Amino acid sequence: NAGVTQTPKFRILKIGQSMTLQCTQDMNHNYMYWYRQDPGMGLKLIYYSVGAGITDKGEVPNGYNVSRSTTEDFPLRLELAAPSQTSVYFCASASGGLYNEQFFGPGTRLTVL
Partner 1 sequence: AQTVTQSQPEMSVQEAETVTLSCTYDTSENNYYLFWYKQPPSRQMILVIRQEAYKQQNATENRFSVNFQKAAKSFSLKISDSQLGDTAMYFCAFKNSNSGYALNFGKGTSLLVTP
Q: Which residues bind partner 1 (CB under 8 A)?
A: 31, 33, 35, 40-45, 48-50, 56, 58-59, 88, 90, 92, 94, 96-102, 104, 106-107
Please state, in angstroms and rounded to a whole number, the distance separating the CA atoms of residues 93 and 98: 13
Please state, in angstroms and rounded to a whole number, the distance separating the CA atoms of residues 73 and 82: 25
Please state, in angstroms and rounded to a whole number, the distance separating the CA atoms of residues 61 and 87: 14
Please state, in angstroms and rounded to a whole number, the distance separating the CA atoms of residues 68 and 85: 22
With H, G, I as helix, E, B as strand and everything else as coil, classify residue 16. Answer: coil
| Closest to partner 1 by CB, 13 or 60 | 60
Nearest approach in angstroms of CB 35 to partner 1 is 8
| Closest to partner 1 by CB, 19 or 88 | 88
| Closest to partner 1 by CB, 38 or 72 | 38
